[in-house]
């Protein structure tokens, strides 16, 4: 999935996606794992209440739209539904570095840390 089609962006998001489960909550809203019904691709959807700092959200979307790197989460499109903004993004199944450490139940080696930092810097 490169971008959501113009046609799908005009429909209600629950017609386009099936929410699979909640992944977590952040400072701006909740993030869900979802399935794009047409392509059957797994995606992440951040649902942000519109009464949140909309300028910050718009700035985040603008930055994500400009990024085209394998080291940065891809942005696919946005929807307004009721009082929420739905931001559709690439799903990163491995989670965060702290998620990986928690699952492994041990700290990362210097080589693993170096690899993560190199990839992070490539994304910047």
Domains observed in the chain:
6-92 (3.30.200.20), 94-123 (no CATH)
| Cβ–Cβ < 8 Å for 70, 118 | no
Residues 6+ apart with CB under 8 A from 27: none
Q: What's residue 56's pLDDT?
A: 82
Q: What's residue 7's pLDDT?
A: 67
| pLDDT tens for each residue of 6-48 | 766 778 888 899 999 999 998 788 999 999 999 999 999 999 8
Q: What's residue 83's pLDDT?
A: 86
Classify residue 90 as left (phi > 0), alpha (psi -120 to 50) or beta: beta
| pLDDT tens for each residue of 53-108 | 778 888 888 888 888 888 888 999 888 888 888 999 999 988 888 888 888 888 89
Going along the chain, which residue ranges are E strands? 17-25, 30-36, 42-49, 75-81, 84-90
Between residues 52 and 63, which one has the greater pLDDT?
Answer: 63
């Amino acid at each position: 999935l490169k971008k959501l089609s113009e046609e799908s962006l005009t429909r209600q998001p629950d017609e386009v996606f099936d929410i699979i489960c909640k992944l977590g909550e952040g400072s701006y809203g909740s993030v869900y794992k979802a399935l794009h019904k047409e392509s059957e691709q797994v995606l992440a959807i951040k649902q942000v209440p519109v009464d949140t700092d909309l300028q910050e959200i718009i700035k985040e979307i603008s930055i994500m739209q400009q990024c085209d790197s394998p080291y940065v989460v891809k942005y696919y499109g946005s929807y307004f539904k009721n009082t929420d903004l739905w931001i559709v993004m690439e799903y990163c199944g491995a989670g965060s570095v702290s998620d990986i450490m928690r699952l492994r139940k041990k700290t990362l080696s210097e080589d693993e840390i170096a690899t993560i930092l190199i990839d992070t810097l490539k994304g910047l």
